[in-house]
């Protein structure tokens, strides 16, 4: 696990290096994190020609923003991303503009996305396999919910799932809480994705925010329960922002659920909990 030091803070956003003859970096962190990730890869002994793969769970900027810079720094790496995400990496203008609107005053945390040549990008379907070395392949599993094009990464050799944002966020010492930002969350699909991951009975499960959870099946069940509660509360409340925010808070009280003061402070700094109301309002409108 590599700490991408989002906003120069530890324990917010992780990337993962899967070692082998053809090493893979899973997640890049934000564009602003590219120097930290390059330092970590150098410290792991990877030279410019050594990285074979950059694998992305989805194209939100805290997960993919470093792609253009890292693809340039590691010219032999192929970028693997859901087919729906591929064009955004090759032509990032629309994604960057939409993200700037979502992140608002916190835009400087992320810093955009540099383009990646289309020829360097492999567009993945469900079940896409990434060979890392003899007997070691990463399998990309479609797990929509947090985003329509979200994929989780199964390292079959170790039974480890790198789950991106499929479960939500659990900062160090904090409780699990859902991450449901605009523009295309789907609460029903998200619950199906969590069931899919649970059916794998993973040995280990790591969140992008942040790191391995203590009990994968317990957290998958908890995340599913949280999405169910959010969906029920939202459906009853409707899309008016004040009523929706109050209903979500009643169903999933933010401070009581996250519980740890440092974790609550991190959530506030990045502003992701506030984005949930907009994300869920958009979902309700699409469901109508």
Q: How far is the CB of 174 from Zn ion (least distance, A)?
A: 17
d(CA 254, CA 177): 8
* Closer residue to Zn ion in complex, CB, 231/270: 270
Strands (E), the chain: 2-3, 14-18, 24-26, 53-55, 78-82, 121-124, 129-133, 136-142, 151-155, 160-162, 204-207, 211-212
Q: How far is the CB of 240 from Zn ion (least distance, A)?
A: 25
* Closer residue to Zn ion in complex, CB, 60/191: 60
d(CA 110, CA 99): 9
Q: How far is the CB of 72 from Zn ion (least distance, A)?
A: 23
* Closer residue to Zn ion in complex, CB, 99/160: 99
Q: How far is the CB of 179 from Zn ion (least distance, A)?
A: 6
- Residue 124, classed as helix, strand or coil, is strand
Binding site for Zn ion (CB under 5 A): 60, 165
* Closer residue to Zn ion in complex, CB, 25/185: 185
The string of DSSP letters for 208-248 reads TTTEE-S-HHHHHHHHHHHHHHHHHHHHHH-S-HHHHHHHH
Q: How far is the CB of 203 from Zn ion (least distance, A)?
A: 24
* Closer residue to Zn ion in complex, CB, 86/237: 86
* Closer residue to Zn ion in complex, CB, 2/102: 102
d(CA 184, CA 88): 15
d(CA 105, CA 266): 16
* Closer residue to Zn ion in complex, CB, 194/237: 194
Q: How far is the CB of 150 from Zn ion (least distance, A)?
A: 7
Q: How far is the CB of 24 from Zn ion (least distance, A)?
A: 19
Q: Which residue is nearest to Zn ion (CB)?
A: 60
- Which tokens is 280 given? 């869920």
Beta pairing partners, 81 = 123
CA distances from 210 to 174, 181, 229 (A): 10, 17, 23
């Amino acid at each position: 696990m590599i700490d991408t030091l989002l906003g120069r803070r530890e324990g917010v956003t992780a990337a993962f290096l899967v070692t082998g003859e053809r090493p893979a970096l899973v997640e890049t962190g934000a564009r602003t994190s590219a120097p930290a990730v390059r330092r970590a890869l150098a410290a792991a002994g990877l030279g410019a020609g050594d990285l074979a793969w950059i694998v992305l769970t989805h194209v939100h900027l805290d997960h993919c923003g470093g792609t253009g810079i890292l693809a340039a720094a590691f010219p032999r790496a192929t970028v693997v991303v859901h087919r729906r995400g591929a064009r955004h990496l090759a032509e990032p203008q629309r994604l960057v503009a939409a993200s700037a609107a979502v992140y608002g005053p916190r835009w400087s945390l992320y810093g955009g996305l540099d383009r990646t040549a289309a020829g360097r990008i492999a567009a993945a379907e469900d079940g896409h396999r990434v060979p890392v070395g003899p007997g070691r392949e990463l399998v990309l599993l479609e797990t929509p919910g947090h985003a329509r094009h979200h994929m989780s990464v199964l390292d079959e050799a170790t039974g480890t799932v790198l789950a991106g944002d499929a479960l939500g966020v659990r900062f160090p010492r904090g409780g699990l809480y859902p991450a449901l930002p605009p523009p295309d969350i789907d609460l029903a699909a998200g619950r199906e994705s969590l069931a899919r991951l649970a059916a794998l009975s993973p040995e280990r499960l790591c969140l992008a925010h942040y790191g391995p959870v203590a009990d994968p099946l317990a957290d998958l069940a908890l995340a599913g329960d949280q999405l169910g509660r959010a969906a029920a509360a939202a459906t009853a409340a409707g899309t008016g922002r004040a009523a929706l925010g109050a209903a979500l808070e009643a169903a999933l009280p933010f401070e009581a659920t996250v519980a740890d003061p440092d974790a609550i402070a991190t959530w506030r700094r990045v502003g992701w909990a506030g984005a949930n109301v907009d994300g869920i309002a958009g979902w309700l409108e699409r469901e109508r």
